[in-house]
Amino acid sequence: MSQTPPSSPPGDRIAKVIARAGVASRREAERLIEEGRVTVNGKVVDRAALNVTAKDKVEVDGKPLSAPAAPRLWLYHKPTGLVTTTKDEQGRPTIYDDLPEDMPRVMSIGRLDLNSEGLLLLTNDGGIKRRLELPSTGWLRRYRVRVNGRPTDAMLEPLRTGLVVDGQRFQPMVVGIDRQQGANAWLTVGLREGKNREVRRAMMDIGLTVNRLIRVSYGPFQLGQLKAGAVEEVRGRVLRDQLGLEPDKDDTGTAKAAKGAPRRRVTRTPRKPSGR
């Protein structure tokens, strides 16, 4: 006699619901749950393996979740000297100190370290963040890299075939020499994953020191002429084309763009003083 497998509980995992509301990424939502900062129907949640439905009242730090906003995506030209985190234990300024005051709550897709600059994608949607950070997405991340030394194609070959640094395997990179400039050389590097300080560590392993690193593209999204510290919102039509998102039903919504409209909306702002 065959047994009918138990059906899954209705609703979605609570961390997914929190992420969809733009409060935090799914991983950060799980941390909020572990810290006892999430309640469902007035009771503190102690496990992430919980499904909730629209009938449940979910609160984070005593504040009810708002209805999920339309997914949005921004291009941000991160300057050097900022860390990609909401709070820094060492008191260093973060990218969130630099963003326009009228920006909604956003999360970064991946990171750029303190001394790196260039294109950083920001989103209000935890699902988009998770999806675009996965190597399985297959998007190439391209960097202009300045190194001290005189690299040759033979020297760069280990990067193209893949190497192991400190016990961690790096996938093959696309590497080309652009030009030699005195004691430094400019390279273009492309990779499809985002391990911590991967380009710097890989270059160091073959005897080259990175003294400037600029991310110029992330998949189909380009840094272009976006100035340092500037933010540019990706239009809904582009989100739909590149990510397969459904357009917003509201004509004024972010996820729907009028025919013939420009691809992006631009917000530029000088960096705000961090007060540090």
CATH number at residue 202: 3.30.70.1560
Question: What is the Rg, in whole angstroms, of the alpha carbon atoms belonging to the chain?
Answer: 21
Residues 235 and 202 both lie in one domain: no
Measured CA angle at 250 (ends 247, 256), to 5 deg: 35
Tell whether 200 is covered by a domain.
yes
Residues 237 and 126 both lie in one domain: yes
Residues 30 and 47 both lie in one domain: yes
Report the alpha-carbon distance of residue 275 to residue 218 in Å, rounded: 31
Q: 266: pLDDT confidence band, cut at 50, 70 and 90? A: very low
DSSP 268: -
Residues 33 and 87 both lie in one domain: no
- The partner residues of 147 in beta bridges, in order of sequence, read 185, 210
Report the alpha-carbon distance of residue 86 to residue 96 in Å, rounded: 6
Tell whether 31 is covered by a domain.
yes
CATH number at residue 34: 3.10.290.10
Task: Please give the tally of structural domains in the chain.
Answer: 3
Residue ranges making up the domain that contains 33:
12-64
The end-to-end CA distance of the chain, in Å, is 70
Q: 261: pLDDT confidence band, cut at 50, 70 and 90? A: very low
Hey, which bits of 79-203 come out as E strands?
107-109, 117-123, 141-148, 163-165, 168-170, 174-181, 184-191
Residues 155 and 19 both lie in one domain: no
The tokens for 251 are 């004509």
Identify whether the C-beta of residue 194 lies closer than 8 Å to the C-beta of residue 110.
yes
Half-sphere exposure of 188 (CA within 13 A, CB side): 9
* Mean pLDDT, the chain, whole residue set: 85
Residues 204 and 227 both lie in one domain: no
Given 21, 44, 64, which residue is the final one in a domain? 64
pLDDT for the residue numbered 116:
98
Residue 97 bears catalytic tag: no
Residues 239 and 225 both lie in one domain: yes
Of 88, 97, 113, 205, the catalytic one is 113
Tell whether 107 is covered by a domain.
yes
Tell whether 32 is covered by a domain.
yes
Report the alpha-carbon distance of residue 68 to residue 100 in Å, rounded: 22
pLDDT in tens, 113-148: 999 999 999 999 888 888 898 888 889 999 999 999
Residues 122 and 256 both lie in one domain: yes
Residues 169 and 210 both lie in one domain: yes
Task: Name residues whose C-beta falls within 8 Å of residue 252's C-beta, 6 or more positions apart in sequence.
Answer: none
pLDDT for the residue numbered 8:
61
Tell me the pairing of strands 168-170 and 12-13.
Answer: unpaired
Residues 239 and 122 both lie in one domain: yes
Tell whether 127 is covered by a domain.
yes
**CB count, 10 Å around CB of 256?**
19
Element (H, E) at 251: none
Residues 213 and 226 both lie in one domain: no
Tell whether 272 is covered by a domain.
no
Identify whether the C-beta of residue 266 lies closer than 8 Å to the C-beta of residue 107.
no
pLDDT for the residue numbered 79:
98
Model pTM above 0.75? no
Residues 152 and 38 both lie in one domain: no
Average pLDDT over residues 84-96: 91
Tell whether 7 is covered by a domain.
no
pLDDT in tens, 190-238: 999 888 899 999 999 999 999 999 999 999 999 999 999 999 999 988 8
Tell whether 233 is covered by a domain.
yes
